[in-house]
Copies of this chain bind each other. A is one copy, B any other.
Amino acid sequence: MQSGFGMLEMGSAAKGHEVMIMLKNVYDVVFGALAYYAFGFGISWGSPSNSFMGLGRYFLDITSDDYQNTGVVFSSFIFQFSFAATSTTIVSGCVAMRCRFEVYCLYSFYAVLVYAFVAHWVWASNGWLAQLGVHDFAGSGPVHLLGAASGLNAILWLGPRRGRFDGTVPREHFKPSSPENILFGLFMLWWGWIGFNCGSSFGITGLRWIVATRAGVTTICSTAGGGSLALVYTKIKNRGKRLNAEEVANGILGSLVAITATCACVHPPEARAGLVDLDIGF
């Protein structure tokens, strides 16, 4: 998914900015991994913990009296880290072409820490949002909403790209460099996302594999809807003349974001007995 996202951003950026955007995505993972290893995992999933944050497992500390948890801790680190890296990467698209590389590196480190708190609130059994009954299957809140809020914040702070709206730089300079790359990135993200939502059932034991397959089905159906609507939208907007690859990609990605939280709860129309999942705590 990181590859697909990098490709999509690279294609959307104006000519001359592609390499810098890919480098930002690379250091997103690098500094995200450092931050998540050192503090993030402990904040989200450490034990002991209170409703606000975890207090253990910093630096993946596994003491000798709980070594039998090694496998569980390590596997959840790998899976949870992929969430954390996704969350920070969202902002790289927002600040593309208008943020210094060094500042972005600092941000990557910092954003993982912010993410870690919110993930604890929503997903840890004693997080305060979880206690209030919040249900988020695969991360619409801690991943997508948080990423989008950070991105909006960054945009408001940085202001528009120089010359973008005051007419001093011709509009062609801001055109996406490669619609082909946008669509290729879309494909990689799309299939990755289906796997991501399926994988969020945290296993295939017991009845969980049913939840995983339902998440896959609703994700596929959701993008069918998002893609159809994007087609209608781009046709009307461009008066039936041409399709805009960006608008299509955004329609499909929007539907993927929208289904992420609920992909295991909603059911395809008519698949009524899908309600079985209520029995297994999802």
Contact = CB atoms under 8 A, between A and B. Distances in A.
Interface in A167-211: 179-180, 183-184, 186-188, 190-191, 194, 198, 207, 209-210
28 contacts: A6-B183, A6-B187, A19-B179, A20-B243, A22-B183, A22-B184, A23-B248, A25-B183, A29-B190, A29-B224, A30-B224, A31-B228, A33-B221, A34-B224, A37-B268, A59-B268, A59-B269, A59-B271, A61-B271, A62-B271, A62-B273, A63-B272, A70-B274, A75-B216, A78-B194, A78-B198, A78-B216, A101-B243
Interface string A51-62: 000000011111
Most buried by B among A101, A105, A231, A271: A271
Given A63-B272, A224-B34, A252 B216 contact: no
Contacts of A33: 220-221, 223-224
Interface string A253-266: 00000000000000
Contact of A248 (B26, B60, B74, B214): B26
Contacts of A248: 23, 26
Given A33-B223, A220-B33, A221-B37, A62 B187 contact: no
A231 B102 CA distance: 10
A2 interface: yes
Interface residues of A, number: 76
Contact of A191 (B2, B67, B220): B2
A18 B23 CA distance: 22
A135 B58 CA distance: 30
A227 interface: yes
Interface string A230-241: 010000000000
